[in-house]
Structures are given as structure tokens and as C-alpha cells.
Amino acid sequence: MKIKQNTCLGVFDSGVGGLTILSSLKSMLPQEQFIYVSDDANAPYGKKSKEEISERCFQIVDFLISRGCKLVVVACNTATTNAIDALRTRYDIPFIGIEPAIKPAALNSKTKVIGVLATRGTLSSRLFAQTSNTFTQNVNVIEQIGDGLVEAIEKGELMNSKLVDLLNSYIKPMLGQNLDILVLGCTHYTFLIPLLQIILPKNIQIIDSADAVAKQTFRVLKKEKLLSSKNLDKTVKYFSSSTKSTLSNFISEKIKVVNF
């Protein structure tokens, strides 16, 4: 199949988390056109099985391909770590995935202790275990499941006392173990950075993978000769699987509801 160069990029997540990736993509690829899909009728993905997550991804990618997407960014750690291999086997277009940034964290940690906050689905995946075994051999990795955080973020309430208590219950046990880097292994958690900066001691660095994903997307588009050569319409098209989309807590643009 010949992939067309002057068409859109698809970006999807279980909800609003992928908006943090979309923002980096738009800055790094200003000439490109984007479609964003939020599967918020089926969020969170973090507690679903690998098979359920893969099935959701297939439905969404079928939709994105039907809209002409030349490449898809899986803007969700949980979907990437559970379904990226199946997606690459099933479809001809390129996929960019996102994984917790434990490799750069392990390389840059001075104390050789790093924390990873991610969903249950990501931390229990084979891909995460493989990456962790390969790149964090001499590093103590403190894994923490962030149950409930995605649900709270989807509501758009990013600073209330319930969320502070929940986040503290995950972060406090990590402190005292001498970590110097906290990896945000879920795209939703980028919205928690302002709160984390209050909770965390100043010597702990927070890292996520948003810019790395945007750079990798640029590299792949260039290599595949798929960078757009025309001035395409820059309006992002937003789609959701829910009639009461939580996307509206974060964006003012029109959201189309689709039954993926």
C-alpha cells in the first residue's frame, strides 16, 4: 500500500492524557494536520486486559485509517505497552508508541534510584519488564501504580484536596528511598506536574516522554518521506467515543462523537 504524504496524523488515548503529546507534536511538526481520538467511553485502560486494550486500539486505528491517517501516534503508555506489536503486525502504516522514560532516567540518575508512576496495565506489561531489564540493571526502580489518578484527571479537577491526598499516598512511600528522578509513565500524569512540583522535594527531577515522542515522530516521517509538503488545514479534529466527553474539560473546540 502506498501511503499518501499530504494527509493527517492520528493521535489517540483512552482520554485526555494524549493531549499532552498532541501539544508537543504540534510544536515540533507545525506543518502537519492532526486528528485526536479520545476513547473516554472506555477509559481507563489501566485496569483492562491486554486483549481488551488491543481490541480498543484496533477499533480506533480502523477509524483513523478510514479518515486517511498516514501515521498513528499511540499517545498512551498502557496502549503502547500492551498493543503496539499487534498494531504493527496488523497495519501497514507506521506507529509511534510511548513508554515510561526509564532509560534516560537510569542514565541520568546520580543516586541510582528512580521512581516510576504508571498504570497497572503498563507496569505489568511484558514490554515494560523487557525495557526495565535492559536499561536499569544497576538502578533501583521503585514502581508505583497510580490507581484512581486517571479518573480524577479526566474530571479536570487537578488541584483538589482529594487528589492531593491520593497523590501523596503514592509519592510519600517513595521519598526516603533516595530517588532523584520520578518518571511519569502515563500521559495523563503530565497534568499533575504543577501539583507534583509542590509535593516533591526540589532535588527530584520529573520526566515524561512527550518531547521524545514528538522527535521520534519527526524522524519517522522524514525517513519514510511522509513529511507533508503542502500547507494543510491546521485545525485539529477531535473525536470521542462518549456523548459526555471529558475532553470538553480541557479544550474549547468542537468534539464529534463516534461509536468506534
Among 12, 13, 209, 239, binds ligand DGL (CB under 6 A): 13
Among 7, 24, 38, 78, binds ligand DGL (CB under 6 A): 78
Closest contact distance (angstroms) between CB of 184 and ligand DGL is 9
Task: Return the number of the residue (5 or 59) whose C-beta is nearest ligand DGL.
Answer: 59
Helix (H) or strand (E) holding 181: strand 181-184
Among 77, 136, 228, 240, binds ligand DGL (CB under 6 A): 77
What single DSSP character describes residue 56? H
What single DSSP character describes residue 48? S
Grid coordinates in use for 2?
A: 502506498
CA distances to 187, 193, 218, 237 from 153, rounded to whole Å, are: 11, 12, 29, 22
Helix (H) or strand (E) holding 236: none
Q: Does 43 bind ligand DGL (CB under 6 A)?
A: yes
Closest contact distance (angstroms) between CB of 223 and ligand DGL is 25
Q: Does 210 bind ligand DGL (CB under 6 A)?
A: no
Q: Does 122 bind ligand DGL (CB under 6 A)?
A: yes
Closest contact distance (angstroms) between CB of 171 and ligand DGL is 18
Among 12, 34, 36, 45, binds ligand DGL (CB under 6 A): 45
Q: Does 99 bind ligand DGL (CB under 6 A)?
A: no
Helix (H) or strand (E) holding 111: none
Q: Does 150 bind ligand DGL (CB under 6 A)?
A: yes
Check if the beta carbon of residue 127 is closer than 8 Å to that of residue 80: yes
Q: Does 102 bind ligand DGL (CB under 6 A)?
A: no
Closest contact distance (angstroms) between CB of 210 and ligand DGL is 11
Q: Which residues are catalytic?
A: 76, 186
Closest contact distance (angstroms) between CB of 77 and ligand DGL is 4
How many beta carbons lie within 10 A of that of residue 105, not counting itself?
23
Grid coordinates in use for 196?
A: 507534583
Cα 188 to the center of its chain, rounded Å: 7
Instruction: Report d(CA 143, CA 194) in Å as an integer.
Output: 21
How many beta carbons lie within 10 A of that of residue 85, not counting itself?
15
Q: Does 44 bind ligand DGL (CB under 6 A)?
A: yes
Grid coordinates in use for 204?
A: 527530584
Among 10, 17, 97, 115, binds ligand DGL (CB under 6 A): 17
Stretch that binds ligand DGL, among 2-10, 87-95, 166-174, 180-188 (CB under 6 A): 180-188
Check if the beta carbon of residue 54 is closer than 8 Å to that of residue 82: yes
Which residues contact ligand DGL (rule: CB under 6 A)? Answer: 13-14, 17, 43-46, 76-78, 119, 122, 150, 186-188
